[in-house]
Structures are given as structure tokens and as C-alpha cells.
Chain A
Amino acid sequence: MQIEPRENISPWRVVLAPVTAIGVAFFLCSFLIAWTGESILEAYGFLFKGAFGSRFALSETLNRATPLIFTGLAAAVAFRAKFWNIGAEGQLYFGALAATLVGTGAINLPPILMVPFLFVAGAFAGGLALLGPVFLKTVLKVDEVVTTLLLNFVILLFINYLLEGPLRDPMSMGWPQAASVIDAGVLPALMERTRLHIGFLVAIGAAIFVWALMRFTIWGYEIRAVGANATGARFAGISINKTVFLVAMLSGGLAGMAGITETAGTKGYLTLDLSPGFGYSGIAVAMLANLNPLGVVISAIFLAGIYVGADSMSRAVNIPTYIADVLVALSVLSVLVSLMFVQFKVRWR
């Protein structure tokens, strides 16, 4: 087997490859469904209906996609620079913590200012959560994969402590949860009688912002150069450390905003089960999108659809909801392989 780079990359292959790969993932997953004894087509039917089949289903999917767009962007930006931030989960909670600290009464602003203020605070807190790892990475050359990963556990324990101690809402009747975000800070709803809020639009705005930043600006150029070839970038006069720091703040900030959409939007207050692993799923979102910021929006909606759809599917037929995670993991891996075949061809002999 011989793998050779393609000299011309055809555009239809770029589009078709991930679509085929997702098809493969669904195909592989259908073996698991067959094993449960349910009808494959029926199960996927429930999945699709549960995700996109009604106004409510769609609103739930988009609602679920909102934090995923943010964490997906966080991973996409960081991975583009080969800065392996796997700590979006912890950064999300730091953002949520910021929402609790400043958004539950400490600061009172009219809604038109309060909502943007919360997003800024969340971004700031998310960046703060990455300061340690990025400092260790740039100054001491400590691998960021492990530091960001382990900080997730530390941050979660810290939040746990706060929720059982100083930040526990006295009105919560003993539940470890913080006070609710004040009305001025609550993200206005987008559709009546659904949970969908303007956080979704902010997320799309963020995706467009990141896309433009990467494509049109000097910072994007530097990030792409550092990620593709750090030695070459350094030779051309780009400061690696400065770029990595910028990437980290951007990435952490985006993940922190996901904490805002959950505390000030969907949930209303900080709890320990605020995020069912949005930070980790964000990595899958970014990988499915091949790190393209606009692609992140699509893949986040796709992933959210799978999660939301799988919930309603497992209520209708007897299939564990973990099928969603399996489907996502298989999609990630098969898209990964398919994208390789966009760039390379295999010759057998």
C-alpha cells in the first residue's frame, strides 16, 4: 500500500467525502441497532423526527447546538494552531461561574447591556481558565494536552465546592445549585414556547467572526502559519508564543461563552450537570467540520440533532441513548479518514 499526495484536489471530493463518511457511520451503527432487535429504518426514523421533525424538535436541536457551536469553535481555533486545548469543558464552567458571580445580582444593567456584558465576562473567565496551561506551554514547554485535560477535573471539583459551599442558593432547598441569573441577564427567547434563545444567533455571529478572522486578518494568517509549520512561521518573523497565547485566549473565551448560553439561557442557573460534556463534544464538532469555523455551525447542528433525536428515539424504541455517542464517535473517525482521502490517494500493488 502506498499513500501519495494528490496534486489536484477536486472540489466535489471535498464536499462528498464527509457526506459519505457520515453515511458509513450510520451504516456501522445500524449493526448495533440490529443487535438490539429493533428495526433499523424505524429507529433512524425516530431519530430524525426527534431531531428535526417538528417545530419543537428543531428548536430543541438548535438550542442544544448553541453551546456546541461555541465549544466547537474553541476547538477549531486551537487545533488550527496545533494548540491542543482539550479543556473546553472546564472553560465552559468558568464562563458559567462568571455568569453566576456577576449576573445574579452583583451587577445590574439594563438588558441591552447586561446580556453583552455577560458574554464578555464569560469569555474573559474562559480565557482565564486557560492562562495556566498556556503559560506552562509557552514558558516551560509543558504539554498542553495533559494540563488542559486534568484542569477539567480540577475546575469541576472547584465548582462542586462552590455549589456546596459559598455559592449555594439558599432557596435551592439543599440542591447544589447557584442563584438564578437576574431577569435583565436572561437571554431573550427566539421562538415562542421553546427554549431557543438568542444565544444561537450569537453563536452564529461568533462563527462568522472567527471565519473572517482566520481568513482576512494578520492574526488568522499567523495562527494558520504557526499551526502548519511553527519553524517556518518563526523564521518568517511570527512570534510563536504570542500567537499561541492569542489562540488560547480566543479558544478559552469561546468556550467560556458556551457557559453563558447555558447559565443565562437554557438553564438559568449554574449546576454541576450544566454541561453533559459539551466541552468534549466540541472537539468532535470541530473535527467533523475539518476545523472550518463555518462548518462548525453545520456539524454542531448535526451533532445536536443526533443527541436530541437519540433521546426521543430511546423513548420510542428500546435502544440505549448511548447510541448517540457511538454514532458521533464513528462519524468523527470516518470523517477523519475520508478527509485524508481528499488530500491523498492510495495505490495498491
Chain B
Amino acid sequence: MANLKISNVTKRFGSLVANDDVSLEVSEGEVVALLGENGAGKTTLMNILFGHYVADEGTIEIDGVTLPPGSTDAAIKAGVGMVHQHFTLADNMSVLENIMLGTQSLWSLKSTVGKARQKMEDLASEYNLHVNPDAGIADLSVGERQRVEILKVLYRGAKILILDEPTAVLTPAETDQLLANLKNMVASGMSIIFISHKLHEVLAISDRVTVLRHGAMVGEIATRDADKAILAEMMVGRKVTRPKAQILEAGESVLELENICVAKKDAKLLSDVSLTIRCNEIVAIAGVAGNGQRELAELLSGLRSWDSGEFRFEGSAVTHPSARKFLTLGFGRIPEDRHHTGTVGEMTVWENLLSEKLGQAPMWKYGKFIDFAASRKKAAELIEQFDIRCNSMETPARLLSGGNMQKLILARTLTASPRFILANQPVRGLDEGAIAFVHEQLLEARKNGVGILLISEDLDEIFSIADRVAVIYHGRISPLLDVRKTNIRQIGAMMGGDMKAVA
């Protein structure tokens, strides 16, 4: 008998159908992989199961009992636990506080910290998930935070564990460790739903694979009958080949960083960073999130100054950075967060398209006034050229899908003919079509002589479009390696801090 039964779930967000008549069954001790591209509706389905969302149609049963819709409490009590892709932890609180939350009746006046600590430590040793209960979340590494998330779920006695893209933030070694831990849990009778778009992980851990595409279920296959080609075909459904980089001779250097240091109070955020990016090449920075990528990106966007070191653009030293200055110099920036950094959601598509060229013709006249006619004409051209799908250019940018928002940012960046582009996680969360589009545009820019710095946590992306790669770890950057002379295993080891692997 099925332990968990999701029947005919449909969920709409406005006009978008996120889940279309999806059904899924999971039995005890089984690992089911939920495979699909970004935006296929995997997370939505799990959020419905966990009670974050209410489905428009369909039901969820656990051990034959229907779950009330929209109640995380009921889901937890029925034995469902979810490790979210974006961790649900409070930075300013301790590990123990994060774990204890919600485990007692809210009206209890007693504090049971001692008992909770004991229980947490027992679980930690049972499942090999060690972490200091009194540490503040802010001081933990990403891997440790994930352990806290899993402990939270185990503490609540979950029988069905949902993991949403759990490996996206881990190094290859941490991933292996996680998969081993999961096998342990399955052996003790738990069921696992493993959300991923990475084929090799799915093949390694699951018993069965369910594939979603555009919100609908396209098929189900026992893992032993599957291979990468079959799964890729099911997942994408159409032939989308990610573009590959042609071999190009790199030109002169565009951007040089020499021994750049950035510190905040006592903490060194970037130490002695040296990098050279040349025309016609893509340099990738690999690394686990939180190792200084944000500071590096802010530095190259003109949003942050540095304490020491040399910053040269096209041979001349840059001082007193500002976003405006960098834009004038010829920097293009694709930020990590499309919604909050890359666009102003309340403003229209065309207004967002003119934001980085404030006061400059043709969208502005006399330096201070918006030229409505010229702006709209230019916006229409860009919308056409970059295939930005929107109701009209008067639509607020926040209503665009992730892919179209990224196209808007690309359009704004590329139309300024930059000579250097910072691309920070440019394809995160996009579907295959949009990924291919973004990569094509970046490669096209590279061919036209632009130097590109790509910050990415996705090694597949790096190995498909970058020329050289370095690893960032604890604010330090390794020497650059030729992508064609290294491999994922070596870079993975370096991401975990094993810089000796450089040799």
C-alpha cells in the first residue's frame, strides 16, 4: 500500500499553471526522484504536499488519511518533513532555537531546553549530522545549515522526507556525504522525495524517477531502467542543446585585479584576489555559496570599494568605484538576484530598460528629461530583439517570468556595448530554453571581444562555456586553470578547500 498518495493536483498562479493534474505515490522505504527543469513545478508540488500552498484541485493522502489543505502543521504531524532549497532558518538565533521551534505546545510556559538539547544530540550522532547546538546560524557554513535543516525534520519524527535541490549548494564531497546519510535514513524506514535536475544524482540515489515538465507529469520510470539519455529526453522533451564555446584566441587583458583585499571589521571577505580577464574569453569563478562571491560581484559592479590592491580596467587604474562610473567605463553587470537587484519590479519594462543609461541619449533628452517616444521605440526594438515576452512594455517588471526578466537584463546590458561583463549566476532558476539563450548571448559577446567573468556554483555550466576557471574559497581565489586541462573532480576538491588539488 502506498504510504503517500498525491492525486490529480492542479495549482494555478494567476494565468500560470504550475501543476497540471499531477499524481504521485511514494511507499515506505522508497526514494523517489522528482526530476524536471527549473520551473517545471517540482517545488510547487512539494509545497502543496507540505501545506505552504493550497491546491486548486486534487488531494493528498498519507496512510489513507486525507491531509487538510494548506496546513504545514497537519503535514508535519502526518510525518512529512521538508528541507527547503532556500533554508528556513533565522540567522540571529541559535541552532537549538531553530530546531525547537514548533515542537512544543505554544501555550506551554515551561522551557524544555535541556531535554531538547539531549534529543538533538542523540539524533545528530545517530545520523552523523554533527553541529554545535549553541552556534548562531549566521556563523555556520552552508553545509552545516543544511544539517540543521535535516535535524529539524528528524526532530519532528518525519517519515517522509522532501529534499528540494539539496545538492545545489554543496561541494561534490559534501554531496557524497549527504547521499550516504540519506541511504542510512532509508534503511531505517523513511521515504524520501528527492527533487533535482541533476541526472547523475538522480540515478545514484533513487529507486524510481517521476518527471515533470511545464507543470505536468510526463512519465515515471524505475531507476534501474533509466539512463541519462532517457531522463534528459523525458525532462526537456524537445531538443535543446546548450551552446558550446568555440575555441577562440584570447585578446588583450580588459580587467586586472591585483592583490585586492576587502575586509569588514576583523573579517577578511576577500584576501589577495588577483585575476586577469582578457578579451574574447570567459573566466569562471567556481565555489560553494558564501565564500566571497557576493563581495567579488559587488566589487565588480561598482557597489563596493576595496581596502588595498590594484584595480585596472583596460590598462588604467580605477579608483573611487561607483555603479555609475563602472557603467560609463564599459562594465556590463548581470546580478545574482534578478528580482531585487536587477530590476525595479514596480516600474515598467521600458522604464527598467533605460535605468542604466540615465540621462544619456537616445532615451533621454537634454540630459535630464525622459524622451518618451525614443525610449518606447528603443524598448520595442529590444523586446523584439531579445524576445522578451510581456503583455506590453507598460507591464511592471515584477510580472515577468524569471527567464524574461533575465532577457530584459541581458538586453539592457548588451545594448550598452560593454567591454567587460560580470555574469553572476546568470542561469540559476531558468529552464533549458532560457539557459541556452543566455549562454548563446554570452558566447556571442565573447566572440565580439568582450571579456566575461562568470560566477557560478554549477560546474556543468562552467565546463560548457568557460575558457579558464578559478575556485573561490574563504575569500581567496586559486590560480586560473584552463578548463580543457582540468576536470570536475579536481575543481570539486578545490571547492571543498583542498587547494593542493591545483597541482
Q: Decide if A and B touch, CB cutoff 8 A.
A: yes
Is the CB of B335 closer than 8 A to any CB of chain A? yes
Do B369 and A228 have beta carbons less than 8 Å apart? no
Stretch at the interface among B24-32, B187-195, B221-229, B342-350: B342-350
Asked whether, in the complex, the Cβ of B323 is within 8 Å of the Cβ of A229, the reply is: no
Q: Please name the residue on chain A nearest to B399 by beta carbon.
A: A7
Are A218 and B14 in touch, CB under 8 angstroms?
Answer: no
* Residue from B322, B324, B356, B370 within 8 A of A217 (CB atoms): B370
For residue B210, CB closer than 8 A to chain A, the reply is: no
Q: Size class of A's contact patch? A: 20 to 34
Q: Is B248 an interface residue (CB 8 A)?
A: no
Residues of B within 8 A of A217 (CB): 368-370
Per-position 1/0 for B29-57, Cβ under 8 A of A:
00000000000000000000000001000
Given contacts A2-B54, A216-B370, contact A235 B341 (CB under 8 A): yes
| Cα–Cα, bound, A324→B406 (Å) | 50
Would you give the 0/1 interface string for A318-349, flagging 1 where the beta carbon is closer than 8 Å to chain B? Answer: 00000000000000000000000000000001
Question: In the complex, which of the residues B322, B340, B367, B399 contacts A229, with contact meaning CB atoms closer than 8 Å?
Answer: B340
B13 touches A (CB below 8 Å): yes
Q: Which of A221, A222, A238 has the most C-beta atoms of chain B within 10 angstroms of its own C-beta?
A: A221
Q: Contact check, A236 vs B369: say whether CB atoms are below 8 A apart.
A: no
A216→B327 CA distance, assembly (Å): 23
A5, A216, A222, A349: the one within 8 Å of B14 (CB): A5
| A197 interface hit (Cβ, 8 Å) | no
Contact A234 B303 (CB under 8 A): yes
Residues of A contacting B368 in the complex (Cβ-Cβ under 8 angstroms): 217-219
B-contacting residues, A1-45, CB 8 Å: 2, 4-5, 7-8
Instruction: Provide the A286-326 mask, 1 if CB < 8 A to any CB of B, else 0.
Output: 00000000000000000000000000000000000000000
> Within residues 322 to 372 of chain B, which ones have a CB less than 8 A from any CB in chain A?
322-324, 326-327, 333, 335, 340-347, 351, 355-356, 358-359, 364, 367-370
**1/0 contact string of B390-420 vs chain A (CB within 8 Å):** 0100000001000000000000000000000
Residues of chain B with a CB closer than 8 A to A4's CB = 13-14
A291 to chain B, nearest CB (A): 12
Tally of contacts, chain A with chain B, CB under 8 A: 81
Q: Which residue of B323, B343, B346, B351 contacts A237 across the interface (Cβ within 8 Å)?
A: B323
Chain A: CB-nearest residue to B337 = A231
Give every chain B residue within 8 A of A64 (Cβ-Cβ).
none
- Contacts of A8 on B, CB cut-off 8 Å? 391
Interface residues of B in 266-283 (CB under 8 A from A): none
Kindly identify, within residues 233 to 265 of chain A, every residue whose CB is under 8 Å from any CB belonging to chain B.
233-239
A53 close to chain B: CB less than 8 A: no
B35 to chain A, nearest CB (A): 29
- Complex partner residue of B358 from A7, A221, A232, A349, CB under 8 angstroms: A221
A225 contacts across to B, CB distance below 8 A: 344, 347, 355
Residue in A221, A222, A235 whose beta carbon sits within 8 Å of that of B333 in the complex: A235
CB contacts (< 8 Å) of A218 on chain B: these are: 358-359, 364, 367-370
Q: Is B196 an interface residue (CB 8 A)?
A: no
The 8 Å CB contact of A7, one of B15, B303, B340, is B15
A168 at interface (Cβ–Cβ under 8 A)?
no
CB distance from A328 to the nearest CB of B (A): 27
A7 to chain B: which residues have CB within 8 Å? 14-15, 391, 399
Say yes or no: A231 contacts B340, CB within 8 Å.
yes
Is B301 at the interface (CB under 8 A from chain A)?
Answer: yes
Inter-subunit contact A349/B54 (CB<8 Å) = yes
- How far, in Å, is B302 (CB) from chain A's closest CB? 8
Which A residues lie within 8 Å of B324 (CB)?
A: 237-239
- Taken residue by residue from 199 to 216, chain A's Cβ proximity to chain B (1 for < 8 Å, 0 otherwise) reads as 000000000000000001
What does the 1/0 interface line of A274-288 toward B look like (CB < 8 Å)? 000000000000000
Residues of A within 8 A of B333 (CB): 235
Complex Cα gap A231–B336 (Å): 12
Give the residue of A219, A222, A231, A239 whose beta carbon is less than 8 angstroms from that of B341.
A231
Tell me whether B345 and A229 are in contact (CB under 8 A): yes
Asked if A228 and B344 make an inter-chain contact with CB atoms under 8 angstroms apart, the answer reads: yes
Determine the distance from Cα of A79 to Cα of B324 in the docked complex, in whole angstroms: 25
Tell me which residues across on chain A come within 8 A of B323, comparing CB atoms. 234-238
Q: Report how far A349 CA is from B53 CA in the complex, Å.
A: 12
Is B364 touching A229 in the complex (CB atoms < 8 A)? no
Pair A233/B399 contact, Cβ less than 8 Å = no
Docked pose: A7 CA to B396 CA in angstroms: 9
Quick one: which of B351, B355, B370, B391 has the most chain A CB within 10 A? Answer: B355
- 19 CB-based A-B contacts, threshold 8 Å: A5-B399, A7-B399, A8-B391, A217-B369, A218-B358, A218-B368, A218-B370, A221-B370, A224-B347, A229-B344, A229-B345, A232-B345, A235-B323, A236-B323, A236-B355, A236-B358, A237-B302, A237-B323, A349-B54
Please give me the 5 A-B residue pairs with the lowest Cβ-Cβ distance, nearest first. A237-B324, A228-B346, A237-B323, A236-B355, A229-B344
Known A8-B391, A218-B370; further 16 A-B contacts with Cβ < 8 A: A4-B13, A7-B14, A7-B399, A218-B358, A218-B359, A218-B369, A221-B351, A221-B370, A228-B347, A229-B344, A231-B341, A232-B341, A232-B343, A235-B323, A235-B335, A236-B358
